[in-house]
Amino acid sequence: MRFQFQSDPGQFSYKPALFTDAIKILVSVNFGIFLLQTIARTEGLFFPLFGLVPKLVWSEFMLWQPFTYLFFHGGIWHVLINMFVLWMFGSELERLWGKNHFLKFYFVTGIGAGLITMLFGLNSMTPIVGASGAVYGVLLAYGFTYPNRTIYLYGIIPIKSLWFVIGIGIIAFMSSFDDISQISHLTHLSGMFIGYLMLKRPIRLNSLWFSIRKKTMEYKIQQEEKKISQQQEIERNIDRILDKINREGFESLTDEEHNRLYKGSESLSRIKKKD
């Protein structure tokens, strides 16, 4: 079975902070699961069940996979690089944002990257595993939060963090057209895209719920006002026709006025029954 891994081995150099709470939890869980799958030697069972297999999510309703795929990795270097980059760049973000906000950002970008990957590969049976969708989101957040920080690529080449993020984004985009590579570059790019959206327009559940309720109430009010306006217009038409009957008699009505009187009376009757 062929697997898609979500990271290329690379070297990054920066003096990171010590382990923060969220980073400690994520690193421990990822290494713990990797150790379990290595000892059990059951990747062939774990990856199709807990990795992201787009066709199985849709056809077999394995709805947990866009979450669980973040915790499984395809090899020691795969998990080491992901956790190293997460520790290096995520620690300072967690100190700035706090544990809860950092975890929210991490999982929204990771799960969002998985969902986008699914949409572009609905019939794919290849398991996608790894935390890189979320890690690339963290990388983008670091670059945008600290754009002038210097990163030493391969421990030698100095580069501003913003340009570094833009560079790996371009690489991920160009590589997403490569069908030969076993690395899911689309997932990397999707993680960065979701991360960018969250930085520009933070998702606040209370505000989102308030906005939905507000739009719903506005729609109901508009519909009610429209119904009242239609009812008033029907009543005005009927009143004009009744005035004509009082002045000139029923026989003076034209066929069109007969129809308007009949349909208007019928509409008013239906509205009153609903009320």
Place of tokens 């290494």: 31
The predicted structure's pLDDT at residue 106 = 94
**Domain boundaries defined on the chain:** 4-203, 207-274
Place of tokens 């509409």: 267
Q: How many residues appear in the chain? A: 275
Element (H, E) at 165: helix 161-175
Chain mean position to CA 235: 49
The predicted structure's pLDDT at residue 227 = 77
User: What b/e readout covers 57-87, taking b as 16+ CB neighbours within 10 angstroms?
Assistant: beeeebeebbebbbbbbbeeebbbbbbbbbb
Place of tokens 């990388």: 139
Domain 4-203 CATH assignment equals 1.20.1540.10? yes
The predicted structure's pLDDT at residue 30 = 93
The predicted structure's pLDDT at residue 94 = 93
Q: Which residues of the chain have pLDDT under 70?
A: 1-17, 43, 154-155, 171-183, 201-216, 219-220, 268-275
SS3 15: coil
- Contacts of residue 127, defined as CB under 8 A and 6 or more positions apart, other chains included, come to 1, 3, 4, 47, 48, 51, 52, 53, 69
The predicted structure's pLDDT at residue 253 = 72
User: In 3D, which of 41, 176, 36, 198 has the Cα closest to residue 111?
Assistant: 198
pTM: predicted TM-score of the whole model, two decimal places? 0.64
- Contacts of residue 82, defined as CB under 8 A and 6 or more positions apart, other chains included, come to 6, 7, 30, 73, 130, 131, 132, 135
SS3 214: helix
The predicted structure's pLDDT at residue 206 = 57
Taking the C-alpha atoms of residue 231 and residue 214, their distance in angstroms, rounded to an integer, is 26
Taking the C-alpha atoms of residue 87 and residue 81, their distance in angstroms, rounded to an integer, is 10
The predicted structure's pLDDT at residue 225 = 78
Chain mean position to CA 199: 13
**CA geometry: angle 114, 119, 122, nearest 5 deg:** 105
Look up residue 6 and give its two tokens.
Answer: 């979500």
Taking the C-alpha atoms of residue 193 and residue 110, their distance in angstroms, rounded to an integer, is 11
Write the pLDDT tens digit of every residue in 106-160: 999 999 998 888 888 777 788 888 888 899 999 899 888 888 887 777 667 787 8
Taking the C-alpha atoms of residue 93 and residue 101, their distance in angstroms, rounded to an integer, is 10
